[in-house]
Amino acid sequence: MTSANHSSPGPLGGSRVLLVGASAGIGRALAVRLVDAGARVVVAARRMTELEKTVAEAAGGHPVRVDVRDEADCGRLARETADRLGQVDFLISCAGAARLRPIAETSLADWQWAMETNTVGFHHVLRACLPFLAPHALAAALSSEAVGQPRAALGAYATSKVALERTLQAWQAEHPELRICRIRVGQTAPTDFGSDFDDEALGAAFESWAAQGLLVDRYMSPDEVAGALVGMLAVAAAFPSVNVEELTVTPSAAAASFSESAPVAAPSAAAPSD
């Protein structure tokens, strides 16, 4: 699964990676880890300025601006990635966003925005990249623990992630030649996930989440999540005939006793950012 002309040391030496949603949070941390592990990486997101910061922090990678909601834009991303890498061994989507809305106040525009960003966007990217995927390529998308633990004011977000997981299953059923992986991520901070949340609405949501027993004593850092993902990808690179269909990454209760920091004020329920 590596390019013979561009081998590099590291557990992912020479692996060719398209990473979508790399401008902040888990996506940026993963870009740094991938480059450090020897991968050749194309990083993509809407915000080019933030992507350039990712490339600078990672000391590697090639930035491409993309809006995953735009099918034509995803086609351009696929072509630019192929021009840069040839084929793609790993396609990883960390793109995701949410609006904090009580379900009764969630508008059609809110629903469309959530589905287009968190569900259909991944489909656009994978569909566009299909001709350029290497044999035994793995496509993975970050989902959220909110799928199994619904949270007040995040109904559209959680529903879009349920739809994303079903989309992954549909791709696997119709394209068994691909390795498809659903990565469900627990509460992580700091990220940009809740940067646009209204403070008053967030306070009310926190009260509800606390009443549901959904708050944790310790949040994962983006780098911790990224480290776990690179470990999984290293296994996938070493064993191309083995598929990791599902991966769940959550804070360890045991680790909480070793943490001296107070809980972070604004966690995410799997908080990637595009």
Residue 274 has pLDDT above 70, yes or no: no
Q: What is the arithmetic mean of pLDDT over 134-155? A: 95
pLDDT tens digits along 203-226: 999 899 999 889 888 999 999 999
pLDDT at 227 over 60: yes
Confidence (pLDDT) at 9: 76
Mean residue pLDDT across the chain: 90
Q: Token pair 């994978």 is at which residue?
A: 126
> In the prediction, which pLDDT does 255 show?
59
| Residue 8 binned pLDDT confidence (cut-offs 50, 70, 90) | low
The pLDDT tens digits for 151-188 are 999 999 999 999 999 999 999 999 999 999 999 999 99
pLDDT at residue 260, as a whole number: 46
70-117 tens-digit pLDDT: 999 999 999 999 999 999 999 999 999 999 999 999 999 999 999 999
